Amino acid sequence: LSSNVGIAKLANDAYNKSTEGRSMFRNRLSQFGLDKITEIEIDGEPRPIIKKPVADKKTWYGTTIPWMAHGYELSMTPLQLLTFYNAVANNGKMMKPYLVSEIRNEDKIVKQFEPRVLIESIARPENITYAKEMMEEVVKNGTASAIKSPQLTMAGKTGTTRINYSNKEEYA
C-alpha cells in the first residue's frame, strides 16, 4: 500500500534532525542521479531542481524533507524521472536515454547513437532488488493493479502531483 504520510514520517525521522542529516538526504538524491540532466540531444532540457539545505536555507523548511520524500518541493522532467526508474530496471545502471539509433541521409549514416552509461550504480544491488520487487507489487497487487497484464510482467509507481499550486483542487 502506498502512503505519502508513512514515507514522509520515515524520511523525517531518519534525516530531519540536523543539517548533516538533511545534507545526507540531499546527497542520496544526488547519488540516485536525480539532480542530473539526461544529456539527451534535445535543446532546452532543464536541470532538475532539488534544494540543498545549506545553499537554499532561505527556502528550506521543516517540511522540506517529508515533502521531498514523496516528490514535492523538487522539480524534474518526466524523461529525467523515467531515466531514474530505468536505472532501477537495469539493476542500478543509469543509461543516457536516446530516441533513435542513427540519423541517415538516404543510404548514408550521418550520426549514430550508442548506449552510454551515466552512472554505473545508483544504489547497492540488494536495495535495487527491493525497489524492483516493490515496483512489481504495485502492478501485481497494488495501486496500479488495473494495468496488470497476463502477457507480460510490469513494474510501476503510482502517485499524485499538483500541477497548479494556486488552485487547491487541481491534482493529476
Residue-level pLDDT at 71: 86
Residue-level pLDDT at 161: 66
Residue-level pLDDT at 158: 80
Residue ranges, the chain, pLDDT below 50:
none
Residue-level pLDDT at 143: 86
- pTM of the shown model: 0.84
- Concatenating the DSSP letter of every residue in the chain gives ---HHHHHHHHHHHHTTSHHHHHHHHHHHHHTTTTS----SSTTPPPPEE--TTTTTTT--TTHHHHHHTTTTEE--HHHHHHHHHHHHTTT-EE---S-SEEEETTEEEEE----EEES-SS-HHHHHHHHHHHHHHHHTSTTGGG--SSS---------BS-TT-TT-B-
Residue-level pLDDT at 156: 87
Residue-level pLDDT at 61: 95
Average pLDDT of the chain is 91
Residue-level pLDDT at 152: 92
